[in-house]
Structures are given as C-alpha cells and as structure tokens.
C-alpha cells in the first residue's frame, strides 16, 4: 500500500518584494540577484497571514482538488521551521481551521528537506495500514528569520505553503532515500525563535538565519545528484524513465548544475524560484501544485522530488503520478 497524491494546493501571500525593493534595503541590484540565484521576487506574509494560516489555506485547496472531505483525513503532518507558536503545533491549528476532526496531527522540522521527511512519514503510516488518508504540508514564514540588513541571505528567501493529499492505494509507487549530516549543522543555522513581526526592530541576532552560502551550494550540487542516482539504482531505473525532477527551489544555478551532473535536459527540471524565492519546506509542494494545476503531469509519469538544506539534510523520493 502506498499513499497516492490525489490533490494539491498552495497559498502564496500577496505582499511582493521584488529585487528593486531589496536594493533599497541593502547594497545589491536586480542583475546580481537574478544572475546568481534566478530569483526576481519573493512573497511575504502581511496582516493576519501566519505560517499556520497559509498551511490551512493550502490544505483546504488540496482537499478540494482531491474531492476529500475534512472528516475523512486520518493524519496531518506539517513540515516547518517557522511556526508562529511553539505550542499548539501548526498541524493542530490546520486541523482546527479545516475541520479535520478525526486526524492525528503533528509537525516536524528538517529545514528545507522537511517536506520530503513529512512525505516519508505519512507514507510509512499508510504503508503500515495505520492510516488511509493524509495531508502533508510544507509551510514557512522565512521573512521572520531573515536579517533584512544582510545581503548575503535576504535576497534568497520568501514565504508560502504547499500541501498534498495522499490516499492509500494498491496502485502507484513510492520509494525514497534520505540522509542527515549533523556534523555539518553549523553551515546553516538559526538559534532562537523570533516572536515579533519581521519588520519590528530591534531584534536579537540569534533570531536571524546565518548561512555559509558557498558551502551550502557545494553540498547541494554534490549530494542531490548522489541521492537521485542512489534512488534510481535502488529501483533499477534510468534517468531517461524520469519525466520530471522537482527540486527544492533554492537557486537556479543549483538546479542547472544537478541537471548537468545527472546528464539530463534542463527542461525536465521545472523551476519557480524566480517568483517565490526559496520557501524552504514549502518549495517542493508549491511547485508540485503549480504543475498539477497546469496539467503538466500525465498518469503514470515517474517524478523525482529532491530536497536539501539545514541540518544538514537531504534526500530524494520517487513517485508515480
Ligand atoms: N548583491 C551584490 N553582491 C553580493 C551580494 C548581493 N546580494 N551578496 C554577496 N555579494 C558579493 C560578495 O560580498 C562577494 O563580493 P567580494 O567578491 O567583493 O567579496 C561577491 O558578491 C561574491 O560573493 P559569493 O558569496 O562568492 O557569491 P556566490 O556566487 O557564491 O553567490 C549565494 C552567493 C548566496 C547566492 C550562493 O552561494 C548560494 O546561492 N548558495 C546557496 C544558498 C542556499 O541555497 N541556501 C539555502 C539552502 S536550503
């Protein structure tokens, strides 16, 4: 038994900061950001929008797309590192909003690989026959963790949420590899939670994300292809059999480099970081939702999802649409 994706949804906040806006905050320019990252804009939470609000909107849309009633949901797993509350967890807040009264709900944090870990967790429950219907969500308000005076990080991140509904099915495919290297955790850190709105100053330095960009870049371009190859070898598949690779949307140069290292065409690697920047655990489900809505995938397509990020963590999953 596997959990087949039968619906997707996403929520993108409406406040948009383009590269010109950032050039008013720090010494940078649109050309540099586009060239080095592929990012042109990012969407940020505003007003009543929060990590759980976005998650609930994305989940509601995914349920609608799947034609599943909230009471049918057995499990909600939320991947996030930016919940506005420590307790209750974001998944419980989603449950309350959407009325999934029968669901068991919890959050997990594996930074930008979070969605894959959450998907693995839901697949394990379904595979064991414990649950039949699950919602898996990635949701982040990274604007609360970004130092908007630091040009080396603030250009990269944005906010948003994406969700998928899984239903137990005999027909389909799920396979995964995931890894963590805690010894390299200092490459990407944020040591305490920000309880203020992102514009509010002053802030404690410890609430800002710190990153060694070069090290993260090298880690991603070596480990992602390694994970994808291991996954395909495990399934005795070749890259030619994969229709699409949905990679974590951190940097277009990372995506291109992974495509090259796998000997694959760039067209098989759709991207949307130009519009949203890096939304961490939300980036893979947001892109999945966009492509699903565009009817990009055909029944039977093999799709590889791959993420990497803080921890350090990384992995790849194979699904059949
Ligand atoms: N605008 C203009 N110049 C900038 C800049 C900005 N926003 N940020 C850095 N620079 C400058 C640097 O100060 C440096 O100047 P110097 O040569 O005078 O010292 C120069 O540009 C090159 O900096 P460098 O850090 O080597 O650039 P890069 O090509 O490695 O790109 C990142 C930087 C952050 C875009 C890139 O390393 C990256 O994307 N890494 C991965 C980060 C990531 O994905 N993190 C999340 C993972 S989940």
Place of tokens 């929520």: 11
Radius of gyration of the chain, Cα coordinates, nearest whole angstrom:
18
| CB-CB neighbours of 240 under 10 Å | 9
Q: Nearest C-alpha to atom 12 of ligand 1 is from which residue?
A: 152
Ligand 1 interacting residues, C-beta cut-off 6 A? 28, 32-33, 36-37, 112, 151-152, 155-156, 211, 213-214, 216-217, 250-251, 278, 309
Annotation says 112 is catalytic: yes
Annotation says 43 is catalytic: no
Element (H, E) at 134: strand 133-141
**How many Å separate Cα 307 from the centre of its chain?**
8
Q: Nearest C-alpha to atom 26 of ligand 1 is from which residue?
A: 214
| b/e sequence 28-37, b meaning 16+ C-beta within 10 Å | beeeebeebb
Ligand 1 atom closest to 155 (CA)? 7
Note the pTM of the prediction, 2 decimals.
0.97
Q: State pLDDT tens for residues 10-54.
A: 999 999 999 999 999 999 999 999 999 999 999 999 999 999 999
The CA distance from 306 to 301, in Å, is: 16
Q: Give every CB contact of residue 277 below 8 A, 6+ residues apart in sequence.
A: 39, 41, 42, 155, 156, 157, 158, 249
| CB-CB neighbours of 236 under 10 Å | 7
Q: State pLDDT tens for residues 246-298.
A: 999 999 999 999 999 999 999 999 999 999 999 999 999 999 999 999 999 99
Q: State pLDDT tens for residues 181-224.
A: 999 999 999 988 776 666 666 777 888 899 999 999 999 999 99
* pLDDT above 80 (res 141): yes
What are the C-alpha distances in Å from 310 to residues 57, 67, 81, 90, 294?
26, 35, 10, 20, 31
Count how many Cα atoms sit within 13 Å of the Cα of residue 88 in the half-sphere of its side chain: 10
Nearest CA among 175, 179, 164, 197 for reference residue 45: 197
Among the options 112, 120, 190, 194, which is catalytic? 112
Q: Give every CB contact of residue 31 below 8 A, 6+ residues apart in sequence.
A: none
Q: Give every CB contact of residue 21 below 8 A, 6+ residues apart in sequence.
A: none
Cβ-contact 288, 319 below 8 angstroms: no
Ligand 1 atom closest to 280 (CA)? 48
- 71 pLDDT band, cuts 50/70/90, is very high
**How many Å separate Cα 273 from the centre of its chain?**
12
């Amino acid at each position: 038994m596997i959990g087949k994706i039968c619906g997707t949804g996403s929520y993108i906040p409406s406040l948009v900061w383009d590269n010109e806006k950032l050039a008013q905050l720090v010494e940078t320019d649109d050309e540099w950001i586009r060239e080095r990252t592929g990012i042109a804009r990012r969407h940020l939470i505003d007003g009543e929008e929060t990590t759980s609000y976005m998650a609930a909107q994305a989940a509601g849309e995914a349920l609608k797309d799947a034609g599943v009633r909230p009471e049918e949901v057995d499990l909600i797993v939320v991947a996030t590192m930016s919940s506005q509350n420590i307790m209750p967890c974001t998944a419980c807040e989603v449950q309350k909003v959407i009325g999934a009264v029968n669901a068991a709900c919890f959050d997990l944090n594996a930074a930008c690989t979070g969605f894959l870990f959450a998907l693995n967790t839901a697949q394990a429950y379904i595979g064991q026959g414990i649950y039949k219907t699950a919602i898996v969500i990635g949701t982040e308000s990274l604007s609360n963790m970004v130092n908007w005076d630091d040009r080396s990080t603030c250009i990269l991140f944005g906010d948003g949420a994406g969700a998928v509904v899984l239903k137990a099915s005999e027909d389909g495919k799920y396979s995964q590899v995931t890894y963590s290297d805690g010894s390299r955790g200092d490459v990407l850190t944020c040591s305490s939670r920000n309880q203020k709105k992102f514009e509010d100053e002053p802030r404690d330095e410890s609430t800002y994300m710190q990153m060694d960009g070069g090290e993260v870049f090298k880690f991603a371009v070596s480990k992602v292809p390694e994970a994808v190859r291991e996954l395909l070898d495990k399934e005795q598949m070749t890259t030619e059999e994969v229709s699409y690779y949905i990679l974590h949307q951190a940097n277009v140069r990372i995506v291109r480099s992974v495509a090259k290292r796998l000997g694959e065409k760039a067209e098989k690697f759709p991207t949307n970081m130009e519009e949203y920047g890096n939304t961490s655990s939300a980036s893979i489900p947001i892109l999945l939702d966009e492509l699903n809505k565009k009817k990009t995938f055909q029944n039977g397509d093999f799709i590889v999802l791959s993420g990497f990020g803080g921890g350090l963590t990384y992995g790849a999953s194979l699904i059949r649409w």
